[in-house]
A and B are shown apart, each in its own frame.
Chain A
């Protein structure tokens, strides 16, 4: 999916590039911590704190207490590392530097000959160290003698301390470094040891479950119950123990463990790796797996996690559990243990527990086989942690929901085959045999169900020490050994049967006809191991990493396009209303928005974490979530597929102009549900951190969006699925049927679904119409009215201003008429409704100076508009000339005005305080206006609505074409798809202010509306500026309407509540804080205007900005009119009236009007 990768890039641009959050970057340059963790197989909680060059001296075996000559024994030069809870030593050089190249930094797994991933050395939990002494050696500045709890942590042995068998494990380490470095290291060690004291209990519990503890106990102390070493103890281990020479191996291991420490205190020497290569003895297998994979350290971290998880989720159900149940009876069914309830029970518990701790992975077929295999050799808890290590570290992504890891490694394997066996590869290509068809199960089940179990376990023995490269080496060796036969096979079937046959004969002699008996004794499996690790020793961890990196994008893209194809196809019948292109685009946008949001969340979180920790170990913060960097990408599997309201807004802002906010703010908190209090000036904030909306335009928040969201959210889950979105869009855009659209719009506002929309609903509808049209109308408009469609901004040239202007002007008129007609034809719910007409007449007469707007002006029903003013506080309202900075903040007002009616608004979004004020205001206005009397309800029905819409040519066109066309599914809108950055969008907003400001100036001076055009032209030379002017002019007209209505309303209120009404102060209602903030921000805004205002003078920005700014500016008016009296409850009413005026048009010409209002109020 192209889109996604571009989103990734976008997200990256927002970051400090050095952070390495970039996915390829983090893979190529793994962090120091992750390299460290990989090398020593430590949990993610460990970070390399100190490292120092050192020499390890291990006393020769059977040396007991110290005092022997230091030169004897084994010496290893290497590096000593200290993390929070571990002291590690390794002879394998490694560099944890961030800048290290792949080859050097991941070379730690490169060794195949005995070295193992972590070389020779040890990984001691600090809690396992009993004593550290500083030796006063002459040769070395610093020498430490480390004594571990090895073998003496058992209570049973405490009494026997005097006995000879109790040998302390004591090693010496000489630090080579400057005195300062050595001291620092020692200090760190001291601190760590102190902290580790508390963990000794955990350690005891963990090692108590290790078989080695039991094994090394003197015979007479062996208790009846050895630690659980898997189902094999009950049901026998696979294979013939004699043939496997299990007892001999056990003896060798016992000796090694006695000399070099057991479980966590084990020191790796070359013999260790050799012993692993020849195959582990049955009873120690689980423990060594646990140790070499590092899962024992996970267990040590949280020994009770397994039991706790099971207890916590006991009795719960999940999809994963259903899937697990299906497979329980079919996991290694040939092993007797899994024909019993005991074995099945263990398998069920381990898989279930893992599905709870890693719900993203849940359960994947093949895990049952792997876990079943583990359970033969280890306890449930051990298997549980080893499964975690497998899924997270060893074979990442293999079992994820998209199995990208599996697919990726198949690609890697194929390239390795191509590289190492070109002839075979060519043959495969020629015969069209798909290699992964054969090899995929090898990798996915770690060879467990491909080879006979005994051999698969041998592979696993090495795999856990040396990592995933082993899977590749073995796979390549299989092909190499069978090369000739495979070259004869010419189709999948033959290919598969060659290999099947081979696996079945792994125990046979590799050279049956050889004269040499030694050679004859070599089994095919031994041959396989030799080929794998000798011939393919060149395949190192870094080879794999490199190839994974190379193929990653292609694989992810494949998965994503498959997922997309499938998702789109399964969208159901309604999706057919949209074209495939459109569906594809919706899909991309849907997941694109979700992905981008996740990325931003992550980045913001990391940013916070880093800030929080900036003083302390600064690196930790940024490492924490590293693994999740790509989370959300479809191809990687689990990611959210639900869109919340904010994401929905962002989604819409990418496809519809009207969904873009007019004046971007920065803080997410503010845009969501804020009532406008406590926000900051947008310009100031802009500079600080990144925008919560990323590079895209900030989406608007409007009641209409909320309605749309709720409408699309069929199941009221407060989140949309792709299905919801597609269905929603299909219903608007798909039918291309005006009646359908009209019905839809009506339903959108019919809250209770009773086919009636009441007074408030009507006002909201007109609100929505204005909201949707504030950036101009799109689609096919009547020729006469819109000679040059405004569909593409590019087409609009200054020459077209006049006609376009008239469209918008007319549309505003149409909306006015719409309101009027709605009320005219409204079906009264109550006979008394008729009475409500009277006050309207009074008002009309009392304001002879009302301006005429449009052709519908004369019969404008003021009373109804008063309702609107009182009840709705839409986003536009009068504004004074001098308060241009209001626009910056005003966009915050709409959200607050959205939930006038607490019953319809989701309380989660609306602010309680706001609601209260609204209610107050409502009461006030109801008192003031008979029309609002609940006893006089009125409503319109769908037929009425339809009639009213169809009565107006422009509205008709709006529903027929403009509205559906305003969703640009495929091409998006320029604002989002363009490369306009953050800065761009903010300058756009500011630019909008610029032109607004200039208009204001004109009108403030009482100049006629005609000036607006010039003003606009001057302010915005760019297309946006042009658009601006157009809308502006329309708004001017509309504002006249509003002004008139306001006056009427105020007059009315004044009369109704003479005592209470304090002009102006009213508006301070809840806005004190905001005002202060605005005042601060004002000048800044002004300055920026000067800079930006000219060219790109903000598009609809200004238009909308004004509209929404209106609320605030009316607020302002009142403030200038009189001193605030914040507590006055009428304030709110006033505010709403002012803002309600926007319905009339949401313009700016109201300046004059508001000025007048102020005057009136002074008078009062």
Chain B
């Protein structure tokens, strides 16, 4: 909170990244947090935790980012990480059809098991591997206007993924963590999409239902208010 303008309200948002292994989840986060890119990023074991602020006109959002491991067998650990998450980035590799299927599974999982009202963004990464990324300088183009391409590594058309995202009510972006294309936009869009109400009760009683065992739920209920105070007290 140190560097935010005094009048702007600040709140933290728990965001979780899910998706098949090696689609670029960690790279997206690294790009967003450090504006950096590493060719050979160590696979995430369990999950990595990072934070980054996102300044909106009216408020500041501090993202608490949980970057999860992508390998299939780590899936059973995911509930631990998406518990109480207010936002999720479900990432696929747009050069790899299976990764979209996996992404759909994650979306379904989140819709049923995560906190109600979770904001989900579907992100097709590795746009730099497609031919339409040639002019990666265009920053605001979004993925929307990309037509079906031929002769590049793209295997999932924008239309297909977009149609799915619309059907499920997801935010949709195509990004390149390598070039940085659209990365910040994703997070900004998520920040904007988080309802004000959910921010107020951030991680309080209201936001923690699904995926929490009964005892945990009780625990949250018992301590909810205090928890909230603590939260506001130290948004360090």
Taking a contact as CB atoms under 8 Å apart, the answer to whether B22 and A326 are in contact is yes
- Which of A401, A437, A569, A637 is the one whose CB lies under 8 Å from B47? A437
Taking a contact as CB atoms under 8 Å apart, the answer to whether B219 and A437 are in contact is no
- Which of B69, B80, B203, B223 is the one whose CB lies under 8 Å from A437? B80
Taking a contact as CB atoms under 8 Å apart, the answer to whether B41 and A323 are in contact is no
Residues A329 and B40 in contact in the complex (CB < 8 Å), given A400-B73, A490-B234: yes
- Which of A331, A365, A432 is the one whose CB lies under 8 Å from B220? A432
Stretch from A113-121, A557-565, A621-629, A791-799 at the B interface: A557-565
- Which of B42, B64, B233 is the one whose CB lies under 8 Å from A333? B42
Taking a contact as CB atoms under 8 Å apart, the answer to whether A330 and B43 are in contact is yes
Residues A562 and B236 in contact in the complex (CB < 8 Å), given A330-B43, A432-B219, A569-B109: no
Stretch from B28-36, B127-135, B167-175, B224-232 at the A interface: B224-232
- Which of B45, B226, B227 is the one whose CB lies under 8 Å from A444? B45
How far, in angstroms, from A492 to B72 measured CA to CA in the complex?
Answer: 24
How far, in angstroms, from A570 to B40 measured CA to CA in the complex?
Answer: 32
- Bits for A470-502, please: 1 = Cβ < 8 Å to B, else 0: 000000000000000000001111101000000
Asked if B79 CB lies within 8 Å of chain A CBs, one says: yes
* Interface of chain A residues 384 through 420 with chain B (CB within 8 A): 399-403, 406-407
- Number of B residues, CB within 8 Å of A: 46
Chain A residues with CB below 8 A from B164, complex form: none
- Which of B43, B74, B112 is the one whose CB lies under 8 Å from A368? B43
Asked if A449 CB lies within 8 Å of chain B CBs, one says: yes
How far, in angstroms, from A569 to B110 measured CA to CA in the complex?
Answer: 11
Asked if A970 CB lies within 8 Å of chain B CBs, one says: no
* Interface of chain B residues 196 through 210 with chain A (CB within 8 A): 203, 208
Taking a contact as CB atoms under 8 Å apart, the answer to whether A440 and B77 are in contact is yes
Taking a contact as CB atoms under 8 Å apart, the answer to whether A430 and B47 are in contact is no
Residues A323 and B45 in contact in the complex (CB < 8 Å), given A430-B227, A432-B219: no
* Interface of chain B residues 11 through 42 with chain A (CB within 8 A): 12, 21-22, 39-42
Asked if A366 CB lies within 8 Å of chain B CBs, one says: yes
A370 to chain B, nearest CB (A): 10
Taking a contact as CB atoms under 8 Å apart, the answer to whether B43 and A492 are in contact is no
Taking a contact as CB atoms under 8 Å apart, the answer to whether B76 and A366 are in contact is no
Taking a contact as CB atoms under 8 Å apart, the answer to whether A326 and B21 are in contact is yes
A404's nearest neighbour on chain B, judged by CB, is B76
Taking a contact as CB atoms under 8 Å apart, the answer to whether A403 and B113 are in contact is no
Chain A residues with CB below 8 A from B223, complex form: 429-430, 432
Asked if B71 CB lies within 8 Å of chain A CBs, one says: yes
Asked if A839 CB lies within 8 Å of chain B CBs, one says: no
Taking a contact as CB atoms under 8 Å apart, the answer to whether B79 and A365 are in contact is no
Taking a contact as CB atoms under 8 Å apart, the answer to whether B230 and A490 are in contact is yes
Taking a contact as CB atoms under 8 Å apart, the answer to whether A330 and B41 are in contact is yes
State the majority secondary structure of interface residues on A: helix
Chain A residues with CB below 8 A from B22, complex form: 326
How far, in angstroms, from A366 to B41 measured CA to CA in the complex?
Answer: 13
Asked if B154 CB lies within 8 Å of chain A CBs, one says: no
Chain B residues with CB below 8 A from A436, complex form: 80
Chain B residues with CB below 8 A from A365, complex form: 21, 43-45, 69, 71, 74
- Bits for A320-332, please: 1 = Cβ < 8 Å to B, else 0: 0001001101111
Asked if A63 CB lies within 8 Å of chain B CBs, one says: no
- Which of A364, A429, A493 is the one whose CB lies under 8 Å from B71? A364
Residues A441 and B64 in contact in the complex (CB < 8 Å), given A403-B74, A432-B219, A569-B108: no
B88 to chain A, nearest CB (A): 16
* Interface of chain A residues 628 through 681 with chain B (CB within 8 A): 637
How far, in angstroms, from A326 to B98 measured CA to CA in the complex?
Answer: 15
Taking a contact as CB atoms under 8 Å apart, the answer to whether A431 and B230 are in contact is yes
* Interface of chain A residues 559 through 600 with chain B (CB within 8 A): 559, 562-563, 565-566, 569-570
How far, in angstroms, from A637 to B66 measured CA to CA in the complex?
Answer: 25
Asked if A212 CB lies within 8 Å of chain B CBs, one says: no
Residues A562 and B76 in contact in the complex (CB < 8 Å), given A369-B42, A440-B46: yes
Chain B residues with CB below 8 A from A562, complex form: 75-76, 79
Taking a contact as CB atoms under 8 Å apart, the answer to whether A434 and B83 are in contact is yes
- Which of B74, B84, B112, B236 is the one whose CB lies under 8 Å from A569? B112
Chain B residues with CB below 8 A from A490, complex form: 230-231, 233-234
* Interface of chain B residues 62 through 92 with chain A (CB within 8 A): 64, 66, 69, 71-77, 79-81, 83-84
Chain B residues with CB below 8 A from A432, complex form: 84, 203, 208, 219-220, 223, 227
Would you list 24 pairs from A and B whose C-beta atoms are within 8 A, ordered by A residue? A330-B43, A333-B42, A368-B43, A400-B73, A402-B73, A402-B76, A403-B73, A403-B74, A407-B76, A429-B219, A429-B223, A432-B203, A432-B220, A434-B80, A434-B83, A437-B49, A440-B47, A444-B46, A449-B42, A449-B45, A490-B233, A492-B49, A563-B76, A569-B109
Chain B residues in the interface with A (C-beta under 8 A): 12, 21-22, 39-47, 49, 51, 64, 66, 69, 71-77, 79-81, 83-84, 105, 108-109, 112-113, 203, 208, 219-220, 223, 226-227, 230-231, 233-234, 236
When A and B form their complex, which 7 residue pairs have the shortest distance between CB atoms, in order from nearest? A440-B46, A329-B40, A441-B45, A441-B46, A365-B43, A330-B40, A365-B71
